[in-house]
Amino acid sequence: LLFRLHTPNLRTLAFHNNSVQLTNSYVNQLCTPTRSAFMTGYYPFRVGTQNGVFLHMEPSGVPLLFPFLSENLRSLGYSTYMVGKWHLGYCRREFLPTSRGFDYFYGFYGPQAGYFNHSSDQWHRDLKRVVGGVDLFEELGEGISKPIFGQNGVYST
């Protein structure tokens, strides 16, 4: 790198005595197998997602017998939010992010959306404008039941 980023908080998280460093990992050539492995903690072939992605009308998703990271975090009292691409099954309500441990979902279910205009026939919400951070909270705050701001005024992303 030509320059080094100064990120003291990230370094503290990464090198703290209680942190876990994953020194050997891999990703799949497609998004669904990699996403399912991250969310379940199992190799894609164990959950049946090793061969491809879930298509528009495909009647399947990551099997419900494999709990997602978000479900485990929610059971520990964490607020969980999913923003962006899902692509882990969306043919039935029980495969959707809010049924898989996320308190709130803002994004699209399927394979892609336009980078600049966010056009897609699969958007979960009709985006009128691009928002992020505090603006996103203000835009969608009515649907969020748990506060995402800390005592020091910092918000989670």
Give the model confidence (pLDDT) of 136-145 as tens digits.
Answer: 555 555 555 5
Give the model confidence (pLDDT) of 76-88 as tens digits.
Answer: 999 999 988 899 9
Exposed e or buried b for every residue in 56-93, given b needs 16+ CB within 10 A? eeeeebbeeebebebbeebeeeeebbbeebbbbbbbee
Label residue 28 by pLDDT band (50, 70, 90). Answer: confident
Label residue 94 by pLDDT band (50, 70, 90). Answer: very high
Q: Is 141 helix (H, G, I), strand (E, B) or coil?
A: helix
Give the model confidence (pLDDT) of 35-51 as tens digits.
Answer: 999 999 999 999 999 98
- The DSSP result for 30-42, as a single string, is SHHHHHHHHHHSS
pLDDT of residue 15: 82
Specify whether 91 is catalytic.
no
pLDDT of residue 139: 56
What tokens were used for 131?
């928002």
Q: What is the mean pLDDT of residues 50-61?
A: 83
* Catalytic pick among 6, 16, 56, 87: 87
Place of tokens 């919400």: 125
pLDDT of residue 131: 43
pLDDT above 50 for 60: yes
CA-CA-CA-CA dihedral for 52, 107, 113, 95, to nearest 10 = 30
Q: What is the mean pLDDT of the chain?
A: 77
CB of 79 within 8 A of CB of 103?
yes
pLDDT above 50 for 121: yes
pLDDT above 90 for 100: yes
* Catalytic pick among 31, 91, 118, 124: 31
